[in-house]
Structure 1
């Protein structure tokens, strides 16, 4: 057997957490290898919205502060968390952001993203940070090797959308047709890329963030080794000293002089771990992360060397639905329905026909409400999104496009009464989806009264800025409440989906993995979704997953560099 390779730092996983750890370590003068199980790099982050939640970033003058940020979090966190780790996040996240910007990653605040609990003390609208569009061709021959965005982030599975384009088109805001035509022109006029691939060279949202990060990583000659899976961690003299990896059946070791950073995502695609840890396990196939990617290999490897876990009972929830893949009807796509469930002219009900949540609230709260209602009634997971022809004309329902793009006549016949249900009356729709007719009609009647008054006395739908951001400004008096009375009526099943797992390896404020006695396992670090969230079960705002992932990747690299004498 050949002599193992040796690097100062081995990073497992190529998403935002791993990329930030690798970039910071390389900038501090350490030799770095990124190991990625998939055939493409970028991780779940490349297929995400790419938003980074960073309190008190001070990129623009404002009155946010460390104290206000912690007060906002303290008002919302509902379970014990490690205080020093939470404070380390609030303190280090702005430093991380300044670092990546200094490296050439163009990040800036998005002042249109309210915190997910806008009525909580010290909530703000400027803590979420986004990244400018990236020209994928700057990656050179690696351009096609970065994980591609899902169809949901593209129009007609072709034209990449940035956040503002998404808002304009999804809500049919002023100028949305012009926005779409400009996107199409940019795409088709790019002849050099069209000769190479169907993929849009405009990397937006999560792809933009990862494109910019990897441009800097590759400029620093850091290797990303694809199709290489972590099998085991090797401990020598009480320290994690190497990793055993597997590539196309070949197992070999790679030495790590100063540290291993586990940044390989959560365990949402491992049904055994979901059944072991989650309150309501749900199904792997309902996850909206890349299929069969995050199976918890890093978590399992950590457990083998004595690591502990925490906050593993739930995921970063998001409602999803499934539809057949285009031109491959025997296979199904999972499609996010995060904002569709709160649009006017619709209501979400459990299988008893009752509402259980403010449908326009954050997608994580929607999922948490599904879990709570399933525990209480046994009649959720899935629930139903019920809507009328007005909604159908204006909005998406998961993978069902508005009628201007997908009229009823164009929906494949095998979708009807399997993936989307339609009936001329609510009685007939209730019968098709096996929901009690009287209960569904009573719920719809209540919603119509709420639409007329503009007030939802049950769940306060549309009563705060976050809810209203995804409503319809043309609907009065409440943009999230529209009458449900324009036949035909429709329904789609909504699953308990996720964006990854909230819990994982227990870590301290330095991102060091802890054992059952809360002692660090020497030279082992974790960041991102294979580590436990510093917020416990809270999802504080847009980017509440990527923000901690990048921050603790940065913190881990700093701690490793300090031990290695790289100041």
Structure 2
């Protein structure tokens, strides 16, 4: 390997959770990793996310009381994952389930502090092998001050600084003005902010996940280059031996003795790739993933013969656009009572409380029959009075927070329908039927509130169904809903060792992929909270263990 500007053992492209886990595996084996990040911030979508990892049979959840096993998890995946070809092969699923607990223990030995998100169910808990208790884990509250100057480089969700909260606390916090448990949860969360008076920076969710991983990398002096995008991969005799990376205005040829790990996210911010692969209509303005996710790594691997799969799949869900143009991913807001989602005819077409990936798919299916992009989230006064909406606290809706497609207000449903271009008679009929079902506590049309997952984001004070509340008290509100994405789910096809493969299934030596740069093992289904980050970290762990073994055998 001649004519290289820099040499390392493993080049890791991207800086999200999977990338940093991979770097730690390489470093702990006594080898040299190099992490290169395209943007000026570290953490990618991982740092902006809820930070949960769906890892069945993991030791942290078992110690917290979860009854789980490989067999239960296998049965659950058999029930919920569709036949999606080699991306979701039995071999890849088995590797994920077998090595997931190992990865969790590996990080714990290094000093990573975990939290079991007990009470946050699988997304289909009633399916065989499903868990109402939940299999998600995440980082414990972390003091960002430990990152020193790197704290300012940690990516955060726009307009929302890191907060010290866990995902299994969010549902109670959403109804903090309604229940004693919610009020106590809010007090607990606010009490975690007190250390700020002494200069500490308590963080939860994705900030804790990436913050802790970054801290472990900094302790081990893992080199990290920011503002260093991948340009192309370098292959010799069919093997990837490095890559070209742009840094400080120069294109550097980097040799990677053990290979390259692509962990640079998907392509949700690449409009051309969206148009080519995703359902239509599709707009990058609806995406809430990290802005650097433009498919660079996927395209670089395709250029040397890599196969891709599931490119029409995404980790999507209902998204609204604030008056400032910021996309806001709806989770609890659409699930709480006193609200419905309707199409242009004013008709419901989904279980509003279901998994966001299902809602994304249902909106596209409906749009092929009736204009449903945008759809409209219709709320009545109690929804606004009782619950937060995005960054708006309960009961506060300033005029500056409203717009022609965001929190449109009217005193009657008919007037509201006319303002947003929805059929008034259709909306009035839909609301009348919905109100009858809400009073009885049974959604006969879409079964909203039947699942334990639905009820996780419900209001327990609303009886008899915590997800159903009639829309009858003015004023009424409407917000346009689009099928946006946390990230894309299709990408490079990999085997059970995380190796990128060609169309004929043969691995490309020296090339690995994980996270949203790789096609999902779940075939576009989201089994539970953390179904992106869980496999991302596990396959980074598997792939880099494979690199370590390969290098040791070569030596």
TM-score scaled to structure 1, two decimals?
0.92
Distance in 1 (CA, whole Å) between partners of 2:420 and 2:323 is 19
Match of 1:131 in 2: 139
Distance in 1 (CA, whole Å) between partners of 2:276 and 2:448 is 34
Distance change >3 Å, CA 472–CA 186, structure 1 → 2: closer
Match of 1:389 in 2: 381
Match of 2:234 in 1: 234
Moved more, 501-510 or 349-358: 349-358
Tell me the secondary structure at the aligned position of residue 400 of structure 2.
Answer: coil
**1:320–1:338 Cα contact (<8 Å) kept:** no
Q: Quote how far apart the aligned CAs of 1:46 are.
A: 0.7
Q: Quote how far apart the aligned CAs of 1:543 are.
A: 0.5
Match of 2:92 in 1: 85
Q: Quote how far apart the aligned CAs of 1:249 are.
A: 3.1
Q: Quote how far apart the aligned CAs of 1:488 are.
A: 1.0
**1:321–1:398 Cα contact (<8 Å) kept:** no
**1:320–1:495 Cα contact (<8 Å) kept:** yes
Matched, 1:9 2:10: yes
Question: Match for 2:537 among 538, 541, 550?
Answer: 550
Match of 2:445 in 1: 458
Distance in 2 (CA, whole Å) between partners of 1:36 and 1:63 is 39
Distance change >3 Å, CA 411–CA 178, structure 1 → 2: farther
Question: Match for 1:103 among 84, 97, 110?
Answer: 110
Match of 2:414 in 1: 427
Deviations 1:425-482 (A, max 9, x none): 1110110111111110111011101111100011111112111111110000000001
**1:47–1:148 Cα contact (<8 Å) kept:** yes
Tell me the secondary structure at the aligned position of residue 337 of structure 2.
Answer: coil
Give the superposed CA RMSD. Answer: 2.0
Matched, 1:538 2:525: yes
Match of 1:22 in 2: 23
Q: Quote how far apart the aligned CAs of 1:176 are.
A: 4.6
Distance in 2 (CA, whole Å) between partners of 1:248 and 1:381 is 42
Distance change >3 Å, CA 399–CA 434, structure 1 → 2: farther
Distance change >3 Å, CA 255–CA 281, structure 1 → 2: farther
Moved more, 394-403 or 182-191: 182-191
Match of 1:196 in 2: none
Written as runs of structure 1 = structure 2, the 5 A alignment for 1:236-255 is 236-255=236-255
Match of 1:74 in 2: 78
Match of 2:180 in 1: 174
Deviations 1:88-125 (A, max 9, x none): 11111111111111111112422211110011111012
Unaligned segments of structure 2, at least 5 residues: none
Q: Quote how far apart the aligned CAs of 1:183 are.
A: 5.1
Matched, 1:33 2:39: no
Tell me the secondary structure at the aligned position of residue 233 of structure 1.
Answer: strand
Distance in 2 (CA, whole Å) between partners of 1:176 and 1:368 is 32
**1:282–1:381 Cα contact (<8 Å) kept:** no
Written as runs of structure 1 = structure 2, the 5 A alignment for 1:327-406 is 332-377=325-370, 379-403=371-395, 406=396
Question: Match for 1:525 among 502, 505, 512?
Answer: 512
Unaligned segments of structure 1, at least 5 residues: 194-199, 326-331
Written as runs of structure 1 = structure 2, the 5 A alignment for 1:212-227 is 212-227=212-227
Q: Quote how far apart the aligned CAs of 1:203 are.
A: 1.6
TM-score scaled to structure 2, two decimals?
0.94
Tell me the secondary structure at the aligned position of residue 20 of structure 2.
Answer: helix
Deviations 1:225-265 (A, max 9, x none): 00100010001122111110112432111110011000000
Tell me the secondary structure at the aligned position of residue 9 of structure 1.
Answer: strand
Distance in 2 (CA, whole Å) between partners of 1:107 and 1:25 is 21
Moved more, 183-192 or 4-13: 183-192
**2:232–2:244 Cα contact (<8 Å) kept:** yes
Distance change >3 Å, CA 51–CA 344, structure 1 → 2: same
Q: Quote how far apart the aligned CAs of 1:399 are.
A: 5.0
Q: Quote how far apart the aligned CAs of 1:333 are.
A: 1.3
Distance in 2 (CA, whole Å) between partners of 1:182 and 1:531 is 38
Distance in 2 (CA, whole Å) between partners of 1:3 and 1:417 is 55
Moved more, 537-546 or 366-375: 366-375
Tell me the secondary structure at the aligned position of residue 256 of structure 1.
Answer: strand
- How many residues are aligned here? 544
**1:244–1:253 Cα contact (<8 Å) kept:** yes
Distance in 2 (CA, whole Å) between partners of 1:3 and 1:11 is 17
Deviations 1:367-419 (A, max 9, x none): 11112212233x1222100011111101234454421xx2x4x2218x34342
Tell me the secondary structure at the aligned position of residue 376 of structure 1.
Answer: coil
Question: Match for 2:400 among 393, 412, 420?
Answer: 412
Matched, 1:481 2:488: no
Distance in 2 (CA, whole Å) between partners of 1:516 and 1:94 is 31
Distance in 2 (CA, whole Å) between partners of 1:22 and 1:350 is 46
Distance in 2 (CA, whole Å) between partners of 1:429 and 1:49 is 34
Deviations 1:120-141 (A, max 9, x none): 1110123111210110011122
Moved more, 229-238 or 332-341: 332-341
Distance in 1 (CA, whole Å) between partners of 2:163 and 2:59 is 33
Written as runs of structure 1 = structure 2, the 5 A alignment for 1:264-283 is 264-283=264-283
Moved more, 166-175 or 306-315: 166-175
Moved more, 104-113 or 511-520: 104-113
Tell me the secondary structure at the aligned position of residue 68 of structure 1.
Answer: helix
**2:164–2:192 Cα contact (<8 Å) kept:** no
